[in-house]
Structure 1
């Protein structure tokens, strides 16, 4: 893998690099291709009959309704929060901004657990909507706030001077400048909501992910499980297509932003309520519930120390090995697409990003089928579980590594080659060293995601392997809220380690740039 001298003169990527990237990207195709094969095994009539079952339609409608409502709510609340954070001066701004991003660090099933501690009777659509909305709002708030701070305020000021009210001025002048960021965030919310399994299962709202797991675990109905999985993949791809169609052409203008105003005191509490609603629902209330349960006699009595230590060790081990393996697969694709933008490179990159639209339970189920039929020796092995992590989280590492490699000037690589370095030595001494912070960020993002991953781990893990996520889900499903508390607390602490490292690397990178 290399970006060789004279890369700027090449019109085609090196054959070895292209082959390595294509091989890495093909990993994402295995689950979808084999799932399609399993779904059509019974023939067209059987496939259509399964697809038109009332139960399948009901689960699909539930998934669409939940994803659409969560996405719409997050879009409105996220844009409103970003507007308040970007256009108004609020007290303790840095603290409020940090709090607004906190929900990203908490798994949705842990939030559901925290609310079930307070109210065990919660179930159905509305609790699921509230939990997912609170967790997903930052996906819209953060990119829109960043876009708003870098956008021009001239057009909005002109619109106001022409007599247009604040709402008309916003939609005619400001919205086109932040629309791309808002829709990109909404895309992540929609995909997250469709793929959600843990929270909706705990809150007993039956969606496609719940139906896939039920079809597999209860009656092992492979055909219905495969059809449900394909329906879920199709919905995810429709969301991606719709986001790209709605995004349009980005509007960029170099001009001064509008000055930030001082929030009137009579509106301050309402503004804080909008910005802090998501952190309170997704972090404050669940953490308080966790604390109540963690120090209760029930929790202490139910704690099995050897099993608890084993779950912590398995979570850390899978995160370290899995993130490194993700990096191995992501680097060839990142190196190729950072330097070459021909049709082949774009196609390989698109395939590599396919895992972004594949829910964890779909990847897990397809690899169950694939393992039983093609590689039975790998079924319920750590190898198969790690491969699922590669498919699911490779996109996170590709994007970060690609941006770091693209930032390395080709002239530096040319100089290295003229001094006698081989392509591999040039990659090691120049490209890898300068892109190391971004490569490390991609690795840490994958590690955090692996620690929190639930559905694929439930389906593919060896029977002797238990992670903090699977232990939390198992105990909560059995209404053992006291016994689940230590695992929930440990998951928060363990996941905070790569998160702290991630913030440290980003801070160091900013200091180096300055």
Structure 2
């Protein structure tokens, strides 16, 4: 799925790790080792383009006449209308809620600000389809667009809150002091000084929310709201790799690319860095007085009740009502074991695949490496169902021996989640001085040995953080696993989905609880990294 990359802040990079000192000549890597790494990076990036190439190839093969017949029809118009309404209604609400909570927890004297800040990030530990499960089991009549907007907002607003809160911590209050000295009122300061400096954080968070809205399947299938993702899955189930499903995937990819373009265009060319001597002063907190002080409690309290209270209370209800029986189900422990095995091996393989691109982008930067790196980010923005559909088609036609095997499943995980490992690895390698590699090579080590024994050891914390992000993403992945997993594979996500499809909410509760417990470390990691990066 669409992933949350901008939520993984990179550590500050020491100047000597990226830029040689004056008069220093960087020792070029051995040609053979560099060729191997470049070849590996090229292979990884070409594989990342498989889903996009699949969509283009199928469109060409289908022909214009058939494309017009399949795309320009009432059903596609209905799905497009649902998607646009979902984006238009959900994105502004997520932005408003995320920015408001960020301001309250970072720039006001709201009592318990640190606790409310942690609670605002905590909903990320609950998979989106578990949010939907909780609300549907609480209000069975909940369905359609209003339900989709409600559940989407409470599931995805942390993707806006986290980058905006991190940006607010780093803002220098000197600009606000100058604006206040010119007579601007507090609300004018917020609109004319603070919000413009948050443009990048808001745009990045909104992009993550939008990509999740386009890619999500379980949430909307459960509340009976048709989107392109649910329609593609239903079409595939009924016709198996039919042209209609492929054309729906093409329209969905176009929507994702348009969203990426809109986010890029919204950045503008303004500079956001502070220029001046010295370091920025500590943030000044806005005093909340009178009714505003008590009213400010309502927003985080209501948000926490909806985003955390409803899932936890619903799970508690079903667990208490069912007793010990669901925990004794013979499929539960094997599902947990398979989830851990797939997530651990998938995280290891994905992190290893990211090493060549990460190392070359730091040690040998250039247009080619920037292009190869961009290929991986573009691929990760495509919905998981498109990636799965592409791999199903390609393996059936070109590589049938790996069809519906662990190989195709791990390939899908790598295509979807490699940027999560890449971002953290780049930061770790950038902090490992190139001089140490050169010293190791002067002592007779090959470039690959120097990379393995020196650089990767120093970059181990970044690699571990990236692997943890991939691990937890795989542990909650649903769509690609449903499409590609070998027969007999049952993860916590697919087991949960099987139980809820049978309306057995009590049996599904243990699966949901275990997924939340596995996701809690990711939430803590993101929260900790965002505060460390901001120096708090």
TM-score range normalised by the length of the shorter chain: over 0.9
Query: Deviation of residue 300 (structure 1)?
Result: 4.6
- Pairing 1:261–2:296 present: no
| Equivalent in the alignment of 1:251 | 272
Query: Deviation of residue 81 (structure 1)?
Result: 1.3
| Equivalent in the alignment of 2:317 | 292
Query: Deviation of residue 10 (structure 1)?
Result: 5.2
Q: What is the alpha-carbon distance in structure 2 between the residues aligned to residue 376 and residue 11 of structure 1?
A: 39
Please provide the CA RMSD for this pair.
2.6
- Pair 1:64–1:145, CA change in 2 (3 A): same
Q: Deviations over 1:395-428 (max 9, x none)?
A: 1111111111112222232333333332122212
Q: What is the alpha-carbon distance in structure 1 between the residues aligned to residue 30 and residue 263 of structure 2?
A: 31
| Equivalent in the alignment of 2:4 | none
**Aligned residue runs from structure 1 range 5-404, under 5 A:** 8=26, 14-220=34-240, 222-249=242-269, 250-254=271-275, 255-256=280-281, 258-297=283-322, 300-301=324-325, 305-404=329-428
Q: Structure 2 unaligned segments of length 5 or more: list them.
A: 1-17
Matched-pair contact (CA < 8 Å) for 1:131–1:281: no
Q: What is the alpha-carbon distance in structure 2 between the residues aligned to residue 468 and residue 488 of structure 1?
A: 8
Matched-pair contact (CA < 8 Å) for 2:42–2:372: yes
| Equivalent in the alignment of 2:14 | none
- Pair 1:383–1:70, CA change in 2 (3 A): same
Matched-pair contact (CA < 8 Å) for 1:117–1:290: no
Q: Deviations over 1:269-313 (max 9, x none)?
A: 33233234443222221111001001213x655666221122111
- Pair 1:302–1:218, CA change in 2 (3 A): farther
Aligned to 1:306, the other structure's residue is in SS state coil
Q: What is the alpha-carbon distance in structure 1 between the residues aligned to residue 274 and residue 169 of structure 2?
A: 12
- Pair 1:440–1:7, CA change in 2 (3 A): farther
- Pair 1:116–1:504, CA change in 2 (3 A): closer
- Pair 1:243–1:9, CA change in 2 (3 A): farther
Query: Deviation of residue 498 (structure 1)?
Result: 6.2
Query: Which stretch of the first structure deviates more once superposed, 78-87 or 8-17?
Result: 8-17
Matched-pair contact (CA < 8 Å) for 1:472–1:487: yes
Matched-pair contact (CA < 8 Å) for 1:316–1:451: yes
Q: Deviations over 1:185-217 (max 9, x none)?
A: 111111111111110110110000011001101
- Pair 1:40–1:276, CA change in 2 (3 A): farther
Q: What is the alpha-carbon distance in structure 2 between the residues aligned to residue 9 and residue 246 of structure 1?
A: 40
Query: Deviation of residue 39 (structure 1)?
Result: 3.4
Query: Deviation of residue 430 (structure 1)?
Result: 2.0
Query: Which stretch of the first structure deviates more once superposed, 250-259 or 461-470?
Result: 250-259
Aligned to 1:27, the other structure's residue is in SS state helix
- Pair 1:228–1:304, CA change in 2 (3 A): farther
Aligned to 1:430, the other structure's residue is in SS state helix
Q: Deviations over 1:322-378 (max 9, x none)?
A: 111111211111111122331101000001112321111111111111121111221
Query: Which stretch of the first structure deviates more once superposed, 337-346 or 200-209?
Result: 337-346
- Pair 1:243–1:506, CA change in 2 (3 A): closer
Q: What is the alpha-carbon distance in structure 1 between the residues aligned to residue 429 and residue 290 of structure 2?
A: 48
Query: Which stretch of the first structure deviates more once superposed, 20-29 or 170-179?
Result: 170-179
**Aligned residue runs from structure 1 range 499-510, under 5 A:** 502=525
Query: Deviation of residue 242 (structure 1)?
Result: 0.9
Query: Deviation of residue 63 (structure 1)?
Result: 1.5
| Equivalent in the alignment of 2:12 | none
Q: What is the alpha-carbon distance in structure 2 between the residues aligned to residue 85 and residue 497 of structure 1?
A: 22
Query: Which stretch of the first structure deviates more once superposed, 399-408 or 25-34?
Result: 25-34
Matched-pair contact (CA < 8 Å) for 1:472–1:484: yes
Q: Deviations over 1:230-265 (max 9, x none)?
A: 111111111111111111233121543551133224
Q: Structure 1 unaligned segments of length 5 or more: list them.
A: none
Matched-pair contact (CA < 8 Å) for 1:153–1:256: yes
Query: Deviation of residue 82 (structure 1)?
Result: 1.2
| Equivalent in the alignment of 2:5 | none
Query: Deviation of residue 65 (structure 1)?
Result: 1.8
Query: Which stretch of the first structure deviates more once superposed, 80-89 or 36-45?
Result: 36-45
Query: Deviation of residue 225 (structure 1)?
Result: 0.7
Query: Deviation of residue 473 (structure 1)?
Result: 1.5
Q: What is the alpha-carbon distance in structure 2 between the residues aligned to residue 441 and residue 409 of structure 1?
A: 20
